[in-house]
Amino acid sequence: MLIEARNEPMRNIISSAVVLGALAMIPAMTVAAEPPTPVGGGEQQGPVATLSTEDQAAIGHAKSISRAFRAISKLAGPSVVSIEVTPEQTIVRRQGGRMGSQGLVPQGMVPNGAPMGVGTGFIVAEEGYVVTNNHVIRSGGAFKVRLNDGRVASAALVGSDQETDIAVLKIDVGGLSPIEFGDSDAAEVGDWVIALGSPFGLKDSVTAGIISARGREVGLSPLESYLQTDATINPGNSGGPLVDMDGRVVGINTAIESRSGGSDGISFAIPSNMAKSVVESIIAGSAPSRGFLGIQMQPLDARVAAQVGFNGQGVLVNQVVPGGAAANAGVQVGDIVVKVNGEETINPQRVMRAVRLCAPGVAVPIEVIRAGTVMSLTATLGDASKHMVRAAP
C-alpha cells in the first residue's frame, strides 16, 4: 500500500499521528573522513586492548561516518520546520494513493477550528520562504510554522503546484537558516542520504540510509520521477528534505510504500532538480510554465508493437493536434516516439513529464520510428495553459 503523506489528527505524545514530516535544508558542506582512531593500547585492559590493527582501523572508519552524520544533522536542524494546519471546514482524512488489499482507511473527522495536523518543511531563503508538499497544506485554513529554536510564526501560502506536489509558505521572522538545493541528477544509487523530520510528532528526528533507486513512478503525481530511499520516514515526515553528504537537499520526502501504515523501508522523495524550478516560479509570483507538444498517445504493448512491426520500447502516436508543436515538427500519426529531450519514453507518462517540465518556447529534440526508420525531429513547445485538449502533453 503506497501512502501519500497527509495531515492527520493532532494527538498527544502517546498517540501522536501526523503527516509525513520534515528533512532540513542546510548550508553546503563537505565532511572529510576522520583518520582511524586507535582503540587498544595505553592503560586499557581486556578484549578492547587486544583488537587487531585491522579491527581498530574498521572501528575508526565507522566513527568517522558517525561523525559525518552528526555534523550534517547539526547543520541541517535549524532549517527544518514543523507546519501546523488548521482547516477551515470539517473534513475527513483518508489514506490514499495506490492502495493494497486494505483499501481506503478512514482517519477520522476534525471539528472546525481544531488543529488538523502537522507536516514538515524547510527554509530556502532568509526572506522566510518555506518549502513543503502541496498535500500538506491543501486542506486550506490557517498555517503555523514552528522553527527549530522553538519560535512559532503564522505562515501565508505563497503558491502551490498540484502536478509536482510542491507548495511554498512565507513567514515574517528574522534570523533564519536557509539550506541550498543540491543536484539530484548527480545522486546515484548507493549514495548516503539523511532525512530529518517529525515522524509521529517526534520533532527533530534524524534517519539515514541510501538512495535505492531513481526515476520511480508509483501513481501519485502526473509528473513524478521519485528518488527511492531506505532512510526511514513515517507519517510526520512529509514535506521535509532528503539531504546528501554535502549538506544539500536532493529530495523532498513525499510518500512511503507500506502495508502497515508505517515505514516498511521504502520511501519516495521528489528530486530537487524538479522541485527547484517549481519553487523559483512560485516565489517569483507565477505558476510553473508547462510545455505543450500536442499529441495523443497510447502505450506500445506487445500486441500493438507486433501490429506495427516494431520490437522495442516507445509510445504510439494516434493523434496530432493541428498547428501544435508536434505537427509543426513533422510528427505524424503512427510514429513511435522513443525519446523526448534525451529521455527514453517507455510509456505516455514519460513523454508527458519530459514535455511539461520544459518551458514554452523551448526547442526539444524528439526521436521517432517511422516505417522502421529512425527520425530526429525538433519541436518548439507551446504553452500548455493555452491549450485545452485533454490528455495531449
Query: What distance in Å separates the CA atoms of residue 350 and residue 222, rounded to the nearest whole number?
Result: 9
Instruction: Assign residue 52 a region (left: φ > 0; alpha: ψ between -120 and 50; beta: otherwise).
Output: beta
Active site residue 82: no
| 3-state class (DSSP) for residue 336 | strand
Residue 109 sits at φ, ψ, to 5 deg, of -110, 150
Question: Cell numbers at residue 128, please?
Answer: 522566510
Q: What is the CA radius of gyration of the chain?
A: 24
Instruction: Please say if 184 is a catalytic residue.
Output: no
Q: Write down the catalytic residue from 165, 230, 244, 335.
A: 165
How many DSSP H helices and E strands does the chain contain?
6, 23
Paired strand residues for 298 = 316
Q: How far is CA 217 from CA 165, 269, 388, in A?
A: 14, 11, 25
Distance between CA atoms of residues 242 and 168, nearest Å: 17
Cell of 110: 476534525
Contacting residues for 221 by C-beta, under 8 A, at least 6 apart:
163, 164, 165
C-alpha cell at 169: 509558505
Catalytic pick from 238, 263, 267, 281?
Answer: 238
Is 64 one of the catalytic residues?
A: no
Which DSSP state fits 187? -
300 Cβ contact list (under 8 Å, min separation 6): 308, 310, 313, 314, 315, 316, 336
Q: How many other CB atoms are found less than 10 A from the CB of residue 70?
A: 12
The cell 510504500 sits on which residue?
257
CA distance 325 to 378: 9
Q: Which residues are within 8 A (CB) of 95 and not within 5 positions of it... i.e. 6 or more apart?
A: 1, 3, 4, 6, 104, 105, 107, 261
What is the set of active-site residues?
Answer: 135, 165, 238
